[in-house]
Amino acid sequence: MALKQISSNKCFGGLQKVFEHDSVELNCKMKFAIYLPPKAETGKCPALYWLSGLTCTEQNFISKSGYHQAASEHGLVVIAPDTSPRGCNIKGEDDSWDFGTGAGFYVDATEDPWKTNYRMYSYVTQELPQLINANFPVDPQRMSVFGHSMGGHGALICALKNPGKYKSVSAFAPICNPVLCPWGKKAFSGYLGLDQGKWKAYDATHLVQSYPDSQLDILIDQGKDDQFLSDGQLLPDNFIAACTEKKIPVVFRLQEGYDHSYYFIATFITDHIRHHAKYLNA
């Protein structure tokens, strides 16, 4: 698992780097971005994983969200992987923007032809953390996850499927109930097959039902003018209702006037970094 540094830029006293490596889970070369705060020069820091949304690469978050200052101040190592395997020469992988390349949906595909490469769930929860823990000054015991849209869905399911693994979770405009939305239906049927019972294992709203009574503080920001909200792709109300019923602590903030863009993310990124820092640095 050799790491190849693609770039390194000093930012807020730390370093924003991009590496490339050969992924075992995904059977392809993968890039990921990692921010090492100044604090990482002298000791191990907590790791915060950012999962991006549809069509994104590792670049979108690091160049648009403006998270560096908060991460630098709180001393968090922030890792942003790509959103899917790339260059696997699977037929149809580049046919649509919401399926295949750039749309891994953070699931382990069980259907051909995707099942050999599209194992993003295992990649972000297993392979990548092991790689990071082995090569960077991070504390394996302190990790959290957050994401946007499809990545928000990814963050929620990673946290809900692994109680105690992540200290905290947050999301920007997450796809909360993918089994009921067009994006989810398309992706899940493609990667997981038509058995909707298998879909529920990757659906945050359904995962909440079986989540054990463990402390998990969930922060969700949602732009009120988000077109995908009104399109019924995100369905946060279902998730909130499930959490209210199961008494899973969620603060859901419907932000007046904001859309689905990185402008919206950049506005509240500091709140989210602080939310994670509160638990990671406790």
Partner 1 sequence: MDLYDSEDRLQIFPEGNTRMRREVVQGLEDDHELGDEFVGENTLRAGVSEYPPYVMKRRESAREQRDWRFGGEATEAEDLSFGGWGSRGQCQDLREAYRYTRGRSSEEYECYVIPEEEDEEEAPDIFCVTCKTPIRACEKVLDEHKGHEVTPLDKALENAKDEIHKNMFKLERQIIEMENFASHLEEVFITVEENFGRQEQNFESHYNEILETLAQKYEEKIQALGEKKKEKLQALYGQLVSCGENLETCKELMETVEEMCHEEKVDFIKDAVIMADSNRLGKFLKTKTDVELSTQPDFEDQNLDFSDVEQLMDSINIIPAPSAPVINPQAPNSATGSSVRVCWSLYSDDTVESYQLSCRPVRDGSPQEDQAAFTVTVKETYCSVTNLVPNTQYEFWVTAQNRAGTSPASECAMYMTAPSPPIIKIKEIRSCEEAALICWESGNLNPVDSYTVELTQAETPEASGVTESVVGIPTCESLVQLQPRQSYTIYVRALNVGGPSARSKPAVVHTTGSYFHLNKDTCHPWLTISEDGYTVVRSERKAAAREQLPSNTQFTRCVAVMGNLIPVQGRHYWEVEVDDCLDYSVGVAFEDVPKQEDLGANCHSWCMRHTCASSRHKYEFLHNKMTPDIRVTVAPRKIGVLLDYENSKLSFFNVDISQHLYTFSCQLHRFVHPCFSLEKPGCLKIHNGISMPLHVADY
> Could you give the 3-state DSSP secondary structure of residue 13?
coil
For residue 7 the two structure tokens come to 């770039």
Minimal distance in Å, beta carbon 138 to partner 1?
A: 21
226 is known as an active-site residue: yes
Tally of helices (H runs) and strands (E runs) in the chain? 11, 9
Residue 220, Cα to own-chain centre: how many angstroms?
13
For residue 215, the Cα-to-chain-centroid distance in whole angstroms is: 20
Given candidates 185, 186, 198, 274, which one binds partner 1 under the rule CB under 8 A? 274
The one catalytic residue in 65, 84, 144, 149 is: 149
Question: Would you give the DSSP letter of residue 234?
Answer: S
Site string for partner 1, 213-252 (x = CB under 8 A): --x-x-x----x---------------x--xx--xxxxxx
Q: Which residues contact 152 (CB under 8 A, 6 or more apart)?
A: 51, 53, 146, 171, 172, 173, 174, 175, 176, 220
Q: Which is nearer to partner 1, 69 or 110 (CB)?
A: 69
Looking at the DSSP bridge assignments, the partners of residue 31 are: 20
| Number of chain positions touching partner 1 (CB under 8 A) | 22
13/272 Cα distance (integer angstroms): 21
> Is 260 designated active site?
yes
Catalytic, out of 260, 272, 275, 276: 260
One of 44, 161, 185, 253 touching partner 1 (CB under 8 A): 253
| Smallest separation, CB 45 to partner 1 (Å) | 17
Q: Is 210 a catalytic residue?
A: no
How many Cβ atoms from other residues are within 10 Å of residue 141's Cβ? 11
Encoded tokens for 167: 């200290």
The reply to whether 260 sits near partner 1 by the rule CB under 8 A is no
Q: Shortest approach of partner 1 to residue 245 CB, angstroms?
A: 9
- Residues assigned a catalytic role: 149, 226, 260
Q: Contact positions toward partner 1, by CB under 8 A?
A: 215, 217, 219, 224, 240, 243-244, 247-256, 274-275, 277-278, 282
